[in-house]
Amino acid sequence: MLDIYTLGEEVLREKTKRVTEFDSALTMLIDAMFETMEEADGIGLAAPQVGVLKRFFVVDTRKANEKIAFINPEIIEMSHEVGSYEEGCLSIPGMYYDIVRPLSVTVQAQDVKGKSFTLKAEGLLARVIQHEYDHLQGTLFIDRMEEIEREKLVKAYNRKHKRRV
């Protein structure tokens, strides 16, 4: 199992670099990320959350055909229709907030062998893709909150985890 970096760790705020080598090391890391995500009872995990500044994430919504690795993803289309849904994050454990996002997205990415694919996602899968994609830009779900609400959530998180800011 890999360590999951948490709020306040600089790696979560950095932008990632494209994956250029599709080798056994990448496959092993992705397998370890799926295992770590499942152990933590998550449904998505991005490389920066495990300290790797590369452009990929894994998703498993526990539905058939929704256990997917997205390498070098690009969201190429988003619906105009949006919806609010409570989000959490393995890097901000125990904190949740309703976040507004497009209800569907189309993403282009590569698989572990480097083969390109395009996927149109709706519902929970679309939301998880957007959440994990944000991690690749150094963005956390709390950055999508109004400032006052974000400050309250961060204070509550720091109290809960007995951290000083």
User: What CATH number is given to the structural domain containing 63?
Assistant: 3.90.45.10
**4 located within any domain:** no
pLDDT at 165: 55
Q: Cα–Cα distance between 44 and 42 in angstroms, integer?
A: 6
156 with 150: CB under 8 angstroms? Answer: no
**90 located within any domain:** yes
Output the pTM of the full model. Answer: 0.94
Reply yes or no on whether 149 is catalytic.
Answer: no
**102 located within any domain:** yes
**75 located within any domain:** yes
**144 located within any domain:** yes
**16 located within any domain:** yes
pLDDT at 65: 72
Q: Which residues of the chain have pLDDT under 70?
A: 163-165
pLDDT at 108: 99
Structural domain total, the chain = 1
Query: Strand, helix or coil at 119?
Result: strand
Domain that residue 14 falls in? 10-160
Contacts 24+ apart (CB under 8 A), 137-140: 137/15, 137/16, 138/12, 138/13, 138/14, 138/15, 138/48, 140/7, 140/12, 140/89, 140/91, 140/92
User: 14, 132, 146, 151: which is the annotated catalytic residue?
Assistant: 132
pLDDT at 20: 98
pLDDT, tens digit (0-9, with 9 covering 90-100), for 91-105 = 999 999 999 999 999
Q: How many CA atoms lie within 13 A of 98 on its CB side?
A: 4
**165 located within any domain:** no
Query: Strand, helix or coil at 93?
Result: coil
64 with 72: CB under 8 angstroms? Answer: no
**20 located within any domain:** yes
pLDDT at 143: 98
Angle 112-44-120 (CA atoms, 0-180°, nearest 5)?
70
